[in-house]
Amino acid sequence: MSVAGLFDVCCIVGLDSSVARYAECFEEAGITGRLLMMLTNNDLEEIGIAKLGHQEILLQSIALLRSLVRLR
């Protein structure tokens, strides 16, 4: 998924620009698909997302995505 695609996902799940800016971190780390669904706060910190509040927002959004994928 491209940075633009990740930004689109962020917008769809209602993330604001404070965390949407991390899309590049995901792309640079090669995180897509299933790997995205398995991330932990330690993983987020390793790819450059150090702010705890931002980690929590992203992990909650990832959990929402996981639940949506299961519904398919």
Task: Give the model confidence (pLDDT) of 19-58 as tens digits.
Answer: 878 888 888 898 888 888 899 999 999 999 999 999 998 9
pLDDT higher at 9 or 15: 15
- pTM exceeds cut of 0.85: no
Can you list the domains of the chain with their CATH numbers? 3-71 (1.10.150.50)
The predicted pLDDT at position 23 comes to 81
Task: Using pLDDT thresholds of 50, 70 and 90, give the confidence band for residue 16.
Answer: low
For the chain, what is the HEC assignment?
Answer: CCHHHHHHHHHHCCCCHHHHCCHHHHHHCCCCHHHHHCCCHHHHHHCCCCCHHHHHHHHHHHHHHHHHHHHC
